[in-house]
Structure 1
């Protein structure tokens, strides 16, 4: 038997995502040969902690030195475009966290370049790999709820308004709740219902306005630890938000299991408190599936005979769950495993690529225009 290709990986980004990507690629059997970051001391420390042989701050030099087969882009979205383009020009396959870029036009250009170069890509709107989402996809395909009619995705995060100012507050840096919540929700729904998005409309709103500027925030997951103790300190500087913190989106999806387009509601409040559970519900002509959690973390319930009852995960789905703490880290492992196997020439199920990354960014551009309103003030 011919030995499989040893897949060499170069990581761009040293924070939570970069470290998580590195571990996920190793889980898939790839070799992490280098990591690149902005700050020499930080990238050197992370490389030593993760036992990565090469650490640097110059991306193009790292590409030439490490000669990777695939690169992993784990920086904020506004910093994705140039290193992805350089990696594609170098001949590398690319795994990118979301968003792909800061706008639809540049995202589509990267998709076209990857297609032209015949390189493989993966786009990490990866919460479609939650175990109960995989189960729901199977149940819908089996006709358990009849024809799917509509889907409802509701979530409220109650995020601290005084989280330090950073990339998540800036459109040009890949911030906003559409980039960092809606992408996952849309991927969950298309996975279950069907990948063809027919139409979309929406409204966004900035409920924040500003955030304190604080130095020293490196790991996105630890940003809450840097909230200033005295927000009235006159020396404190503030940054202006220019992205949405709440959104409402309506979409229609084509489904092979339905005769009519399936209606979808996405409702998210980043700063608002929740009263009951966040959830994803798929309603059909003969029943419904309710999954608890903003990203469908479960458990799942089925509606039949006028009552709800919990559905356990099948053994085959449970046995396939990667052994790692954290939903985000587990879902990276699902997707990265597919990409690595695809690079090695194995047959794999379809996964989201730069095609979806570009499509999602174009949809976000449309939603942010807030052009769905009809003036009815003249009506009695």
Structure 2
């Protein structure tokens, strides 16, 4: 008898293939893959030795009888497939964002809870080794009481990346959905999971992008930037979502007597001058991590008022999946804990649709952009 967990994957691109590899690494069987374009999904399924491929998600649920579904499509395409999978009784692993709006994300969380299925939400850069090291240091009291966190990143994304889901709010695009979800997950993993308050400002610095056919993989979209952007026959799509954001938050922490202040500053199109970074400040010290998602190295500011680089502890290194690529390794980490939970084995706690629905509600609040106080009349 084959006791392997059966997984059906929605999405044929970088995430769909990455999720498939992660589940296979945990001994699961990828029984099918569903995509929008028949020729593409057939080709990817054959390349990955997946026995079933198709474009009809509901039919695939019936045909494949999965225990788990993995949702690896853009966020605007998540709602119906996840809802159908929950009704079918499947456990659900979903990439971020959970949906394109807080209302539907909350609905999916409540449906999953009522059905009794397990869910995982892949804002998974909290598993970066240096982030886990920072968490250990804070837990041990190395920085005293945490008081402030600073997250600063500027990506200098190409303005002429072909128009697609990332340019559209209704498709799950925007930097809040695709950067802030990771950043708030990282900070809360270190400081505390309860967000008490937030305020935010967003901007669309882009405006428009060229429409180009043939882009199927998010990771290779740069290869499709038109060589002649002045070609009069070129068509353009209008962006309707943010490419930069600034968010202030207050987070409750069991390590602090007062709420911790957090600054999230991100510019998707703007260049960095110094290295992107995260800093955790405390009453006795501080932790500085280079890289927008905590790639490292990590520096510690100690009682001698000097910064020194720290190596990652062996227990953290040994617990990391042996996978190249930060994104892929973090998927493997989360899938590992999710599968353990489903099998009834001991597991590390992980983020679920509870966090996915909360984050989407936070994003809705930030996007209202209604936090300003007009002081023009005072001048």
Instruction: Report the TM-score when normalising by structure 1.
Output: 0.98
Contact 1:123 1:353 in 2 (8 A): yes
Whole-Å Cα distance in 2 between the matches of residues 316 and 4 of structure 1? 34
Is residue 2:275 matched to residue 1:277?
Answer: yes
Shift of 1:158: 0.2
3-state SS in 1 of match to 2:250: strand
3-state SS in 2 of match to 1:302: strand
Tell me the C-alpha RMSD between the 2 structures. 1.0
Where in structure 1 do 4 or more consecutive aligned residues deviate above 3 Å?
A: none
3-state SS in 2 of match to 1:253: strand
Contact 1:9 1:70 in 2 (8 A): yes
Shift of 1:214: 0.3
Is residue 2:5 matched to residue 1:7?
Answer: yes
Shift of 1:347: 2.2
Tell me what 2:75 maps to: 77
Tell me what 1:343 maps to: 342
Tell me what 1:94 maps to: 92
Tell me what 1:298 maps to: 296
Shift of 1:276: 0.4
Tell me what 1:254 maps to: 252
Whole-Å Cα distance in 1 between the matches of residues 17 and 72 of structure 2? 9
Q: What stretches of structure 2 of length at least 5 have no aligned partner?
A: none
Contact 1:11 1:71 in 2 (8 A): yes
Contact 1:21 1:332 in 2 (8 A): yes
3-state SS in 2 of match to 1:378: helix
Tell me what 1:57 maps to: 55
Shift of 1:375: 0.9
Whole-Å Cα distance in 2 between the matches of residues 346 and 323 of structure 1? 21
Tell me what 1:46 maps to: 44
Whole-Å Cα distance in 1 between the matches of residues 234 and 205 of structure 2? 21
Q: How does 1:211-222 map to 2 (within 5 A)?
A: 211-222=209-220
Contact 1:4 1:344 in 2 (8 A): no
Shift of 1:6: 2.2
3-state SS in 2 of match to 1:35: strand
The size of the alignment, in residue pairs, is 378
Tell me what 2:208 maps to: 210
Q: How does 1:179-218 map to 2 (within 5 A)?
A: 179-218=177-216
Whole-Å Cα distance in 2 between the matches of residues 330 and 336 of structure 1? 10
Contact 1:77 1:98 in 2 (8 A): yes
Q: What stretches of structure 1 of length at least 5 have no aligned partner?
A: none
Shift of 1:100: 0.5
